[in-house]
Amino acid sequence: MVHEEISIDKSSFIPIYYQLFKLLEEQIRRGDFKPGESLPTENDIASRYEISRMTVRRAISELVSAGMVYAQQGKGTFVATPKLDNIVFEINDFNEDIKKRGLNYKTTLLEAKIVRADENLRAKFQITEENKRFLFFRTVLSAESERLSYEVKYTTYSKSKPILESELKDPSLPGLVAAHTEYLPVSSKKVLQVAVCTEEEALILGISPQSPVFLIEQTIFDTELRPVGWSKAVYRGDRYKLTSYDGWYKKD
């Protein structure tokens, strides 16, 4: 296969550092520089293309960010070996998958009320006070009139921030928390497990009991690391999967 000659066009509106980044990336991909080998020195590249060394460094730093090369002070810059045992499952929203497929999805609010915390809930929110009240939501997500997931959510509650009608449409946990917390919610922890669903969940989702499901618990914390929101969601195992891509070739 013949590769078209790529080079640097200093008069282009595309930044030089970006052109060089793409050029080096392509050369690495097609094996001009192999894993473990070193790239030409920054000064070599700079004089080769008659550009500044700082511009070369900008290009190389992009390669470093992409994980394709690594630099060692005093030695040089070397091509990395693609790491293939790294697994990164990234989901902006566990439901995004469904939405992307263009299906008609909708969230149904089963219940919304103010509750007093029982012992279990107090543990989740790391409080001892017995009379503290929380907002409680139960929702079901469905697509094409098929129920896909069931979620219960709790957030802190204060009288000064009542429930708004608009929240009830599609109450996401981060959204609810932001609306009912004094402090800024800044961090979140999620735990994914597999389980077989309970009879109640099976009934709600319209699947047979003991079916395998994804179970995701999420806790949201404020600036002082106090829990201000907690949710537990059950996703049908036969309708969800997570995909991870790795290595040099990534989805653009």
Partner DNA sequence: ATAGTATGAATGTATAGACAACTTTATAAG
Partner DNA sequence: CTTATAAAGTTGTCTATACATTCATACTAT
Which does residue 18 touch among its own copies, DNA, none (CB within 5 to 8 A, set by kind)? DNA
> Taking contact as CB under 7 A, which single stretch among the options 13-21, 86-94, 119-127, 142-150 is the one that binds DNA?
13-21
Q: Enumerate residues 75-134 that contact DNA by CB under 7 A.
A: 75-77
Which does residue 169 touch among its own copies, DNA, none (CB within 5 to 8 A, set by kind)? none
> Taking contact as CB under 7 A, which single stretch among the options 74-82, 166-174, 213-221, 222-230 is the one that binds DNA?
74-82
For its own copies, give the closer residue by CB, 80 or 121: 80
> Does 247 sit near its own copies (CB under 8 A)?
yes
> Does 32 sit near DNA (CB under 7 A)?
no
For its own copies, give the closer residue by CB, 64 or 163: 64
Which does residue 110 touch among DNA, its own copies, none (CB within 5 to 8 A, set by kind)? none
11-39 as b/e: b if 16+ CB within 10 A: eeeeebbebbbebbbeebeeeebeeeeeb
Given candidates 162, 196, 200, 203, which one binds its own copies under the rule CB under 8 A? 196
> Taking contact as CB under 8 A, which single stretch among the options 12-20, 84-92, 145-153, 162-170 is the one that binds its own copies?
84-92
> Does 15 sit near its own copies (CB under 8 A)?
no
Q: Phi/psi zone of residue 203: left (φ > 0), alpha (ψ -120 to 50 degrees), beta?
A: alpha
CA pair distance 65, 72, nearest whole angstrom:
14
CA pair distance 35, 58, nearest whole angstrom:
21
Build a one-symbol-per-residue string for 23-42: x at contacts with its own copies by CB under 8 A, - elsewhere: ------xxx--xx-------
27 within 8 A of 8, measured Cβ to Cβ: no
Structure-block tokens of residue 72: 């060692």
Given candidates 120, 194, 208, 252, which one binds its own copies under the rule CB under 8 A? 194
Dihedral (Cα; 145, 151, 152, 158), 10-degree rounding: -90
Structure-block tokens of residue 249: 């070739």
Which does residue 76 touch among its own copies, DNA, none (CB within 5 to 8 A, set by kind)? DNA
Structure-block tokens of residue 176: 């609810």
Q: Enumerate residues 161-220 that contact DNA by CB under 7 A.
A: none
For its own copies, give the closer residue by CB, 138 or 239: 239
- Phi and psi of 122, rounded to 5°? -60, -35
CB atoms inside a 10 Å sphere around CB 199: 10
